[in-house]
Structure 1
Amino acid sequence: MPLDYKESYRIGADMRHAGYVPFTEKGLYGDEGKRRRYESFDLSLETVSDDVGSNIFNGPLRWPDLPGFRNVVYRFFCDMIDVSREFSTIIEISLDMEPGAIVSKMSHPASQLRLLHYIENNDALDLKDTNMGAHTDYECFTILYQDSPGLQAQLRNGAWIDVPPVDGALVVNIGDMLECLTNGYWKSNAHRVINTGKERYSIPFFSSLDYNSKIAPMERFILASDGLREYKEIVAGEHLLEQVTRDFSYLRKLHVSGQFELRNGMPSENPFQYTVKELD
């Protein structure tokens, strides 16, 4: 669609973190250099509850007046919430957690869906100028559809490996919230998207918890670490909001001007994004 049409649905209208994300909404990734090569349409849950309260990730949003767009996209988003709850039940069983340890905190989750479009370009491959810089995801886990190469994940030894699309398969990344809950037993996985020069579409669903949910390492994982508690308690929505503010210039501007408050202030980094030395 024309740029002026897309801009009329720009993210941040009425303090709602949903809508069109232009190329100018640049995050604080150190390896995104010269210019941003992707745009997106972001959305999250439209319903609210007394437990969730007012926040920028829940509530009504403005949908483009394109025939069928809202019906198809929001149905897919709601289906992904159902899938994420089922997947969380599997996680609870596999980690020998109490039933509902995760799912009980997903009544009105601050989960998000992004419709990402990377544009074709003639820029040379440069790992200091990636399409999307290296980062971890801030939620419990991410379920990703992608249509072409570009995604890479980092191993513990620092090496980066390609994560190509596989027909009939989705990619799953562990996120920050599960790292906290498991006291580091599961790590939030660093990943990036390198520039192949080709057009690329991807649809990540970020499975989160309810905004006010408190997350802390579970006792069994602390005992498995010789009683060492690696992480302090966090509030799911606050961690998400702090990191998203680092990613979006409109939120950073509002925060600096005093129009948008972060209870803990804007962090200089993501405490879950571990740093490893890359191999030569």
Structure 2
Amino acid sequence: MAALNLWNPALGLSIPMVILTAYLLGILHGITPDEHTWPITFSYAIGAYSTRGGLVAGLTFSFAFTIQRGIASELSYLALARWLQNPTVDLWVYVVVGLAMALAGLYMKNTGHVVHIHGTGTHIHKDDQPQMIPPSMALVHGFIAGWGFGAFALIIYTVLAPSMGRASLGWVPGVAFGLGTMTIQATAGALFGRWMRQLRLPESVARQVARRTASNTLFYGGSAFIVAGVGGLMFPQTMSWSIATPLHVHNLHNLGIGFALVTFTVIIVGLGTLIRSMREARRLVMGR
């Protein structure tokens, strides 16, 4: 049996080794700072304001992501990997994901309403008492974000999927990878939600902090995705920028635009808004 190699697996692995490698790569993908997962999971989990809500946010986003990766894995087995590797596809994913994030954040931020999707219909619900963003929106974002392309996707599409031996199993590596990502993102979502629940603030105030944090993260983070996507389409050479590190781990070996988007969205906007909002809320509570 070939040795397990998460950095550069070879063609021709046995089916059990392909599945194990894909699952472990998914776990690694869920842990490392990836622009297609962390900004969205953080936004929805923080807005959920509970352990259960954060878990649901992580699961729903990752479920849609898993379905997409299964579809893309099957397409790769059918020799369409070259189309999936087109860098223009990734840039358009940035734009579409950014638009979806920014629109969701805009409704929460400026109107006090939240977009709800029921079946095929969409309507705006008055948010008199701040509520979590509906999981259906995380499903939409997860499916769109899954079309993004990176080092992990390259391994799934060009090595693991073709190693399955027959078309009826071409989807398996993508789903295994998605389940690995789900393992981490669902756990992270629950932890983010629990963290918000532990704030030492009156519940109504804490919910406002959660909503403000989620709306800012979605709106400004989504805007950054749009700028990155449009900028890359206009000036493709800028997308090759990266900083090499000694870490022999995908998503950490070369830090490029994806890492910059995660840093801006989650750390600068998300955590920055959370800290400022908590300070303001505590001053308000103490002043009562």
Does the TM-score normalized on the shorter chain lie above 0.5? no
Shorter-chain TM band: under 0.3
Which one scores higher on RCO, CA 8 angstroms, separation ≥ 6?
A: 2
**Under a length normalisation based on structure 1, what TM-score does the superposition of the two structures give?**
0.27
Structure ranking higher in strand proportion: 1
Structure ranking higher in helix proportion: 2
Highest CA radius of gyration, 1 or 2?
2
